[in-house]
């Protein structure tokens, strides 16, 4: 199939994928059938791996770590593999984007842009592999020299969600590999295809066997077992705060594995009257509708200066009504399908709840009938109070709540009135306000007069209940290392025993 064709269709038959352990493909397990959320037809068949399969994968990753076939290479050699992987991804970009659309329901044009970002992640990871270094202390006196070594932490378990199956994977894998670690990945059962395709890419790029292993299956079985596994040194989990909490318990009850957690968000976009209101409205529409709002950094709380609130909400509602929601394989589509039936019900439930709580609907407000799949119109609620469930809970859908403010202090207080702290955006042409808000709102990623901007050089992660640790960039590589303090005595020892 020509995956770059402007008229793509779902495949005629579902593709069966095996799972990948120790450099080889395995099969023969019961299969899970995944249907395309945009089209309702079966597209992939994924292995339901067993606990024994997981044990074999962890054992392969352990062997590959301990014999130093990867950690023992120079950063330059590891970087070369990552650069070759970037080249292969460039070649297979449209094919991987097609599989993201089939399993996730996101628009093809967006998916292609995401693969470009993934290629950049591998390129940045390649550079980071070469630049990773420790520290030294030349300040301990003439008799002692101190070095701080960074060492890869070991075998990493990686559990990824269904909203950005390949992008979230690639914001982690190159950086984990740059550190010298080996890994076992468990993608979401509903979006496993591209994680398996990455195994083909990395093998072709020359990654040694056993360094990247993939087991598939449900979160409740394989995911839980990976989080509890006593021979996994670190677990990177991205998904709901509830499962993140269960990973903390699993780590405590097994081997105290280190955790990296990227969890939920209820992210504010703060709009001051002195901002470029056209730009801010466009960003607000994008921030809540991108990826159908199934995005941990979606800007789902609009905090808008009261003097312009009504005018701004009207302009925003008009923009949201123009968003092209449709078949994810159509290159003109801006917003595709909701990824799972369960998530569709959650979002529609919150829209009904918002209306029942007394919020005023200014745009969208329900499902769109396109004949197949689940689609929801980008939705804007006005007159929202901070106590309403739609203002507090992560909806993970295209539902934006608008709340007014009068002073900078009120804007900051509203923005911080959440258990989450993943991302935030502020819109103003006044540098004092922009920097005051940036410094006082507790969030791991901040956008000043922009929305979801950035690249894999910059670290990702949350404050408060949005998680622990940072992914991507040099911070992301360091996260997968531990430091060892080395003390070297120079000259003759001062004896303890006279």
Residues designated catalytic: 262, 296
- Contact region for ligand NDP (CB under 6 A) — 103-111, 220-228, 329-337, 353-361? 220-228
The CA distance from 63 to 88, in Å, is: 27
Does 243 contact ligand NDP by CB under 6 A?
A: yes
Q: 60 or 243: whose CB is closer to ligand NDP?
A: 243
Does 159 contact ligand NDP by CB under 6 A?
A: yes
Q: For residue 498, give every residue at least 6 positions away whose Cβ sits within 8 Å of its Cβ, in sequence order, or none.
A: none
Does 254 contact ligand NDP by CB under 6 A?
A: no
- Contact region for ligand NDP (CB under 6 A) — 94-102, 158-166, 201-209, 313-321? 158-166
Residues 339-398 that bind ligand NDP (CB under 6 A): 343, 346, 394, 396
Q: For residue 497, give every residue at least 6 positions away whose Cβ sits within 8 Å of its Cβ, in sequence order, or none.
A: none
**Binding ligand NDP by CB under 6 A: which of 110, 163, 195, 465?**
163
Does 161 contact ligand NDP by CB under 6 A?
A: yes
DSSP 8-state secondary structure symbol assigned to residue 324? -
Which of 414, 440, 442, 437 lies closest to 426, judged by CA?
Answer: 437
- Contact region for ligand NDP (CB under 6 A) — 95-103, 169-177, 257-265, 271-279? 257-265
Residue 475 C-beta: closest distance to ligand NDP, Å? 18
- Contact region for ligand NDP (CB under 6 A) — 127-135, 147-155, 157-165, 284-292? 157-165
Q: 222 or 309: whose CB is closer to ligand NDP?
A: 222
Which of 242, 182, 188, 248 lies closest to 212, judged by CA?
Answer: 182
Q: 339 or 481: whose CB is closer to ligand NDP?
A: 339
Residue 149 C-beta: closest distance to ligand NDP, Å? 32
Q: 123 or 394: whose CB is closer to ligand NDP?
A: 394
Q: 160 or 481: whose CB is closer to ligand NDP?
A: 160
**Binding ligand NDP by CB under 6 A: which of 118, 178, 232, 263?**
263
Instruction: Give the residue at shortest CB distance from ligand NDP.
Output: 219
DSSP H or E segment with residue 358:
none
> How large is the angle between the packed helices 277-289 and 306-321, nearest 10 degrees?
60
Contact pattern from residue 297 through residue 326 relative to ligand NDP, giving x for each residue in contact according to CB under 6 A and a dash for the rest: ------------------------------
Q: 333 or 343: whose CB is closer to ligand NDP?
A: 343
Q: For residue 426, give every residue at least 6 positions away whose Cβ sits within 8 Å of its Cβ, in sequence order, or none.
A: 269, 270, 272, 433, 434, 437, 438, 441, 446, 447, 448, 449
The CA distance from 349 to 351, in Å, is: 5
The CA distance from 27 to 48, in Å, is: 10
DSSP H or E segment with residue 487:
strand 481-489
Which of 90, 98, 106 lies closest to 37, judged by CA?
Answer: 106
Question: Total residues at the site for ligand NDP (CB under 6 A)?
Answer: 27
**Binding ligand NDP by CB under 6 A: which of 153, 205, 271, 296?**
296
Which of 126, 150, 153 lies closest to 136, judged by CA?
Answer: 150
Which of 171, 40, 13 lies closest to 103, judged by CA?
Answer: 40
Which of 440, 355, 462, 441 lies closest to 401, judged by CA?
Answer: 355
Does 114 contact ligand NDP by CB under 6 A?
A: no
Residue 185 C-beta: closest distance to ligand NDP, Å? 10
Which of 323, 124, 89 lies closest to 99, judged by CA?
Answer: 89
Contact 107, 336 (CB under 8 A): yes
- Contact region for ligand NDP (CB under 6 A) — 130-138, 261-269, 441-449, 473-481? 261-269
| Torsion sign across C-alpha atoms 251, 252, 253, 257 | positive
Q: 246 or 482: whose CB is closer to ligand NDP?
A: 246
Q: 20 or 396: whose CB is closer to ligand NDP?
A: 396
Q: For residue 349, give every residue at least 6 positions away whose Cβ sits within 8 Å of its Cβ, in sequence order, or none.
A: none
Which of 269, 218, 208, 214 lies closest to 426, judged by CA?
Answer: 269
Residues 180-209 that bind ligand NDP (CB under 6 A): 188-190
Contact pattern from residue 328 through residue 347 relative to ligand NDP, giving x for each residue in contact according to CB under 6 A and a dash for the rest: ---------------x--x-
Q: Which residues bind ligand NDP (CB under 6 A)?
A: 159-163, 188-190, 218-220, 223-224, 227, 238-240, 243, 246, 262-264, 296, 343, 346, 394, 396
């Amino acid at each position: 199939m020509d995956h770059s064709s402007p008229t793509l269709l779902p495949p005629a038959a579902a593709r069966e994928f095996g799972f990948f352990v120790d450099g080889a493909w395995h099969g023969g397990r019961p299969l899970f059938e995944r249907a395309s959320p945009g089209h309702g037809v079966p597209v992939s068949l994924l292995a339901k791996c067993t606990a024994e399969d997981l044990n074999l994968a962890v054992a392969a990753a352990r062997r590959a770590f301990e014999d130093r076939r990867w950690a023992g290479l120079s950063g330059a050699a590891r970087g070369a593999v990552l650069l070759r992987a970037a080249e292969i991804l460039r070649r297979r970009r449209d094919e991987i984007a097609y599989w993201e659309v089939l399993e996730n329901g996101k628009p093809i044009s967006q998916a292609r842009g995401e693969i470009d970002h993934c290629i950049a992640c591998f390129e940045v990871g390649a550079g980071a592999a070469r630049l990773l270094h420790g520290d030294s202390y030349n300040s301990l006196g003439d008799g002692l020299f101190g070095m701080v070594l960074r060492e890869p932490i070991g075998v990493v378990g990686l559990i990824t969600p269904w909203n950005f199956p390949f992008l979230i994977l690639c914001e982690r894998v190159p950086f984990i590999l740059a550190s010298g670690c080996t890994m076992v990945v468990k993608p979401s059962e509903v979006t496993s295809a591209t994680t398996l395709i990455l195994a083909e890419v990395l093998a072709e790029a020359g990654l040694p066997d056993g360094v990247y292993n993939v087991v598939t299956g449900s979160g409740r079985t394989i995911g839980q077992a990976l989080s509890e596994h006593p021979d996994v040194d670190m677990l990177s989990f991205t998904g709901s705060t509830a499962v993140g909490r269960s990973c903390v318990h699993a780590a405590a009850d097994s081997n105290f594995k280190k955790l990296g957690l990227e969890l939920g968000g209820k992210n504010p976009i703060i709009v001051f009257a002195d901002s470029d209101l056209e730009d801010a409205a466009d960003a607000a529409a994008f921030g809540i509708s991108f990826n159908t709002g199934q995005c941990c950094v979606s800007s789902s709380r609009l905090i808008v200066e009261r003097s312009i609130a009504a005018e701004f909400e009207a302009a925003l509602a008009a923009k949201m009504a123009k968003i092209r929601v449709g078949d994810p394989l159509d290159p003109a589509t801006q917003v595709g399908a909701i990824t799972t039936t369960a998530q569709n019900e959650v979002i529609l439930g919150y829209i009904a709840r918002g209306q029942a709580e007394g919020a005023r609907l200014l745009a969208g407000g329900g499902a769109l009938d396109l004949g197949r799949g689940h689609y929801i119109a980008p939705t804007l609620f006005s007159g929202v109070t901070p106590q309403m469930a739609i203002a507090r809970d992560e909806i993970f859908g295209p539902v934006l709540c608008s709340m007014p403010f009068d002073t900078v202090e009120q804007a900051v207080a509203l923005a911080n009135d959440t258990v989450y702290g993943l991302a935030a955006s502020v819109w103003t042409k006044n540098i004092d306000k922009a920097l005051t808000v940036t410094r006082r709102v507790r969030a791991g990623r901040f956008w000043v007069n922009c929305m979801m901007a950035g690249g894999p050089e910059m670290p990702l992660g949350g404050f408060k209940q949005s998680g622990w640790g940072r992914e991507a960039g040099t911070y992301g590589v360091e996260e997968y290392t531990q430091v060892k303090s080395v003390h070297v005595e120079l000259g003759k020892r001062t004896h303890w025993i006279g």
